[in-house]
Amino acid sequence: MYGSAAGGRDSVFPLIEKLIQRGLERSALTAPSARMAADWFLNLLIGDLQIRRVIGTLPVPSDKDIRSRVAAAVSAFRKLCST
């Protein structure tokens, strides 16, 4: 059985949003809002990965693939929201 939004995105999103809010308050990041920037980050990180996994067109990512995807998402997010 797949996890619910309450056990996944709904619990993780507020944590990411809070962290980004701190970055905005310290002028380390720039974005229209912490909520929008958190949404951007999750889209960069996950994109259509979940859909492709569910429909079976993408295998389970390796640890190396996961680390690479995280690094790419963080890099893109920094470019998008850097001051």
Q: Work out the pLDDT band at 1, boundaries 50, 70, 90.
A: very low
Q: Please give the C-alpha separations between residue 16 and each of 13, 35, 65, in angstroms, as whole numbers.
A: 5, 9, 22
Which is more confidently placed, 36 or 1? Answer: 36
Express each pLDDT in 8-44 by its tens digit.
788 999 999 999 999 999 999 999 999 999 999 999 9
Backbone angles phi, psi at 65, to 5 degrees: -65, -40
Annotated domain spans of the chain? 9-81
pLDDT above 70 (res 3): no
Express each pLDDT in 59-80 by its tens digit.
999 999 999 999 999 999 999 9
| Whole-model pTM over 0.75 | yes
Predicted local confidence at residue 8, as pLDDT: 78
Rounded distance, CA 72 to CA 69, Å? Answer: 5
- Could you tell me the two tokens for 5? 């939004």
> How far separated are the first and last CA of the chain, in Å rounded?
42
